[in-house]
Amino acid sequence: MSSSTLENLKERYVNLADSANGALALFASDDFFADKARMLAPGDPQWKDEVYDEHGKWMDGWESRRKRYHGFDYCIVRLAGAGIIHAIDIDTSYFTGNYPPVASVEACVSESEVDENSAWTELMTPHPVKGDSHNIFDIEANDMVTHLKLNIFPDGGVARFRVYGELQS
Q: Which domains can be identified in the chain, with CATH numbers?
A: 6-167 (2.60.120.260)
User: pTM to 2 decimals?
Assistant: 0.93
Output the CA angle 1-89-44, nearest 5 degrees: 140
Q: Is the pLDDT of residue 18 over 80?
A: yes
CA–CA distance, 113 with 77 (Å, rounded to integer): 10
Asked whether 102 and 153 are in contact (CB, 8 A), the reply is yes
pLDDT tens profile 91-101: 999 999 899 99
Asked whether 14 and 28 are in contact (CB, 8 A), the reply is no
pLDDT tens profile 137-168: 999 988 999 999 999 999 999 999 999 999 99
Q: Is the pLDDT of residue 1 over 60?
A: no
Percent of the chain predicted with pLDDT > 90:
75
CA–CA distance, 64 with 68 (Å, rounded to integer): 12
